[in-house]
Amino acid sequence: MQALTSRWFGRARGQGLSGLIPGRRGVARLHRQPVWRAAGFLGRLPRGAGLTASVLYLIACGAYGMVYSGKTEEVFNDTTSELGFRVSAVRITGQRELDEIDVLDTLSIHSGQSLFFYDAQGARDRLAGNPWISNVSVMKFYPDKLRVIIEERTPAALWQKSLDEPVEIVDGAGKVITDHLEARFVKLPRVIGDGAETRVHEITGLLDDAPDVQKRVRASMLVSHRRWDLFLDNGVQVMLPERNPEAALAELQRLEHDGGLLDRDLTLVDLRLSDRLVVRLTDTAKAARDELVQARTKAMKQRARDA
């Protein structure tokens, strides 16, 4: 049995170290080094290092648990919020058409929100998606304030892509703001046609120089991206030329101001030819005109016979 034990463990049970190493005796107790000195580097660690390492280990485990469970941001948010960084004031400026409550809803500031962990860029992107907003800034002012500066689009015209399309409000650049029409917007210039929404300033600028015509215009239609037709309050259609529409409108302004041309029984005023003015009468006016012509012709024939 002793031989088997020696063969398995390399020594017999009860045999000391001196028995394994020939020529050496065991170290006397007086000359043995303390364990902490024999440990080398570990022996030089300050007192309490083990406790500190244990605490750090527990903190690391806790942090890993938070990350693994997805609660890290929530914990840090609550911590910084309790330290005085909770959002306590929001200042919103620049909004006129937008409701402040709608802006606050879009900001999505929950109860106990820490300013440290508030996503200002995400809030800006959400607000920028509102068609009323042309530009917006969301800024943090530590420790606990948020400021929102809004630039809204200004309604410039009512636009229809075609006569069977819905009416929409556009700004001066032709950007659609909304199709929700309120009574306060009905006096905006109305433009019709594909591309007309981006040329609002063009037609309004032309009409500014013809005030007697302008006050009677109810809609302006862009025809084939080339020229404008005007539709007046009495149903008369005015066809402007592609080239030099300023001169044509100036002539129409003169005729309206001096003789009230647009109050006559007309359905169409064609200004596309630079050397003449073409008008189309209403059916009633045309019938009256035909009757008058016939009467004059008959009277001339009668005078010819009497002569």
- Dmax (CA) for the chain in angstroms is 172
Is the residue at 273 inside a domain?
A: yes
β-bridge mates for residue 123, sequence order: none
Same domain membership, residue 147 and residue 203: no
Same domain membership, residue 137 and residue 203: no
Is the residue at 116 inside a domain?
A: yes
- CATH code of the domain containing 89: 3.10.20.310
Is the residue at 11 inside a domain?
A: no
Which residues contact residue 234 at a Cβ distance below 8 angstroms, ignoring those fewer than 6 apart?
216, 262, 263
Print pLDDT tens along the chain (307 aa). Answer: 444 334 333 444 444 444 444 455 555 555 555 554 555 555 565 666 666 766 565 556 555 555 555 556 666 566 666 677 888 999 999 999 999 999 999 999 988 888 888 999 999 999 999 999 999 999 999 999 999 999 999 999 999 999 999 999 999 999 999 999 999 999 999 999 999 999 999 999 999 999 999 999 999 999 999 999 999 999 999 999 999 999 999 999 999 999 999 998 999 999 999 899 999 988 675 565 555 666 666 667 767 776 6
Is the residue at 241 inside a domain?
A: yes
Burial of 72 (C-beta count, 10 Å sphere; 0-12/13-18/19+): middle
- Per-residue pLDDT of 18-38, as tens digits, reads 444 445 555 555 555 555 455
Is the residue at 36 inside a domain?
A: no
User: Cβ(265)–Cβ(282) under 8 Å?
Assistant: yes
Identity of residue 50: G
Is the residue at 292 inside a domain?
A: no
Same domain membership, residue 203 and residue 279: yes
Residue 49 to residue 68: CA distance in whole angstroms: 28
Q: What is the pLDDT of residue 84?
A: 75
Same domain membership, residue 282 and residue 206: yes
- Per-residue pLDDT of 136-175, as tens digits, reads 999 999 999 999 999 999 999 999 999 999 999 999 999 9
Work out how many domains the chain is built from and give that number. Answer: 2
Same domain membership, residue 203 and residue 148: no
Q: Please state the separation of Cα 147 from the chain's center in Å.
A: 18
Is the residue at 34 inside a domain?
A: no
Same domain membership, residue 269 and residue 211: yes
Residue 198 to residue 159: CA distance in whole angstroms: 10
Last residue of a domain, one of 113, 135, 152: 152
- CATH code of the domain containing 240: 3.40.50.11690
Residue 280 to residue 278: CA distance in whole angstroms: 7
Domain hosting residue 241, numbered range? 199-286
Is the residue at 104 inside a domain?
A: yes
